[in-house]
Amino acid sequence: MKIYIVCSIVLSAVGYTISAPQINQGRERINGLQGSTEFANAVQKRSDRQKTLYDEKADRINYVSECMTVVSLKAGDEETWIFRSAGELDTCGLYIVSDPETRVEMEIVDMNIDCRDGLVMLFDGWELNGNVIPSEADHQLPLRLRQSTLCGHTPAHNKRMLVSSQNAGLVSFRVPEQGQGFKVILRARHNQDVCNILMSEVEGFFTLSNAGQARNCSLTTLLFPASFALLSLDVGQPGRNKRSQLAPVETQCVERGNIDYIELGGAMDLDSNMLTSKTICGHKSLPVESGLTVLCGSSTVRLVSSGKFHNSVTVYVKAAEEEDLVNGKNTIITCPQ
């Protein structure tokens, strides 16, 4: 029996939220998406929806009928989504996740939204409960360059498309005027430089690499506690040991003064900013004997790189099961309640 500790996602404007650029002077800015358990339900409906859509045509047309909708795309997929307002006052969203080796392309091809109180925003990543994924620390672009805010009639071509930096993108919208809305085309494009990954499946093998750059790369699970198995790692140069098969794998890397390391941990909500974590660094071409089970609402593995080394880590991730809770088999960390 699989163990899922999934917290209710409360989408609110409390805490850190995305604020869209002002279109008119003095215009109220859009805040974080609001709701209660809608997003958790949307994730489940996304899984149910996948079963019926994979055999349909690539250019299928879908109608947004719920405030929170999660859309899954495979590499090369293209979907059209249409929203027409019934007079809703809420801020809602299309949350798109695609294969790890892809980017999400979002293109508004038709729009009729009154700029006085409505808008649609394309965002590079996800925003949930005041949390931004990937976090500012993990993304190479500042927040102001990760969003495009639109209203009025169909905009000029250079303003209506946004391509995400990773396999997650968001179309956030507020359209209070009945009958108004938009049409957006979603595409999953190949990504040659995979750095940040939102993991929507419950199992998989992943490699994170800094490509020799000073950057963070992360893998975050979509609302399930996870068990990690490190299959290989080549991170930093701990102590005075040369990189070799005999060099040790170290823990507490930050405390030891290492600036290149792997951080593993989790958070209660869908958030890559970990409440609890441990760090590992070193070199090992064979699987690390002990795994790690993270009993949190979501789990994250982050590769932190200074740019001095070509760092990489290969990890097998799966939803935590009862066997992963056996004492001595895995290191177990939990999130504070």
pLDDT, residue 55, reads 40
Residue that terminates a domain, selected from 129, 159, 190: 190
Among 209, 169, 160, CA closest to 189: 169
The domain in which residue 112 lies consists of 38-190
Does 170 lie in the same domain as 283?
no
Establish if 195 belongs to a structural domain: no
pLDDT, residue 128, reads 86
pLDDT of 158 above 60: no
Establish if 76 belongs to a structural domain: yes
pLDDT of 46 above 50: yes
Mean pLDDT of 63-77: 95
Residue that terminates a domain, selected from 190, 213, 248: 190
Establish if 12 belongs to a structural domain: no
pLDDT, residue 103, reads 98
Residue that terminates a domain, selected from 190, 224, 240: 190
Rounded to two decimals, what is the model's pTM?
0.82
Does 179 lie in the same domain as 96?
yes
Question: Rounded distance, CA 22 to CA 115, Å?
Answer: 10
pLDDT of 54 above 50: no
Establish if 225 belongs to a structural domain: yes
Question: Rounded distance, CA 29 to CA 47, Å?
Answer: 33
CATH number of domain containing 318: 2.60.120.290
Q: At 106, is the secondary structure helix, strand, or coil?
A: strand
Does 245 lie in the same domain as 180?
no
More confident residue, 123 or 30: 123
pLDDT, residue 307, reads 95
Establish if 26 belongs to a structural domain: no
What percentage of the chain reaches a pLDDT higher than 90?
A: 54
Winning range, highest mean pLDDT, from 147-161, 167-181, 224-238, 287-301? 167-181
pLDDT, residue 43, reads 72
Does 228 lie in the same domain as 158?
no
Helices (DSSP H) in the chain: which residue ranges? 38-53
Mean pLDDT, all residues of the chain:
81
pLDDT, residue 36, reads 44
Does 209 lie in the same domain as 163?
no
Does 217 lie in the same domain as 142?
no
**Please, which pLDDT band fits residue 19 given cuts at 50, 70 and 90?**
very low
Instruction: Give per-residue pLDDT as tens, 279-326.
Output: 999 988 878 867 889 988 889 999 999 999 999 999 999 998 888 887
pLDDT of 13 above 80: no
pLDDT of 30 above 50: no
pLDDT of 69 above 90: yes
More confident residue, 170 or 334: 170
Contact 165, 193 (CB under 8 A): no
- Cα 306 to Cα 145, 151, 246, 251: the distances in Å are 23, 41, 23, 18
Does 239 lie in the same domain as 165?
no
- Domains contained in the chain, number: 2
Establish if 255 belongs to a structural domain: yes
Does 168 lie in the same domain as 227?
no
Establish if 288 belongs to a structural domain: yes
Does 220 lie in the same domain as 145?
no
Q: Are strands 197-199 and 226-235 parallel, antiparallel or unpaired?
A: unpaired
Establish if 159 belongs to a structural domain: yes
Does 205 lie in the same domain as 183?
no
Does 221 lie in the same domain as 95?
no
Kindly write down the DSSP assignment for every residue of 250-319, as one continuous string.
EE-TTTTT-SSEEEEEEESSS-SS-SEEEEEEEEESS--SSEEEEESSEEEEEEE--SSS--EEEEEEEE
pLDDT of 142 above 50: yes
Question: Rounded distance, CA 184 to CA 161, Å?
Answer: 9
Instruction: Give per-residue pLDDT as tens, 86-106.
Output: 999 999 999 999 999 999 999
Does 238 lie in the same domain as 145?
no
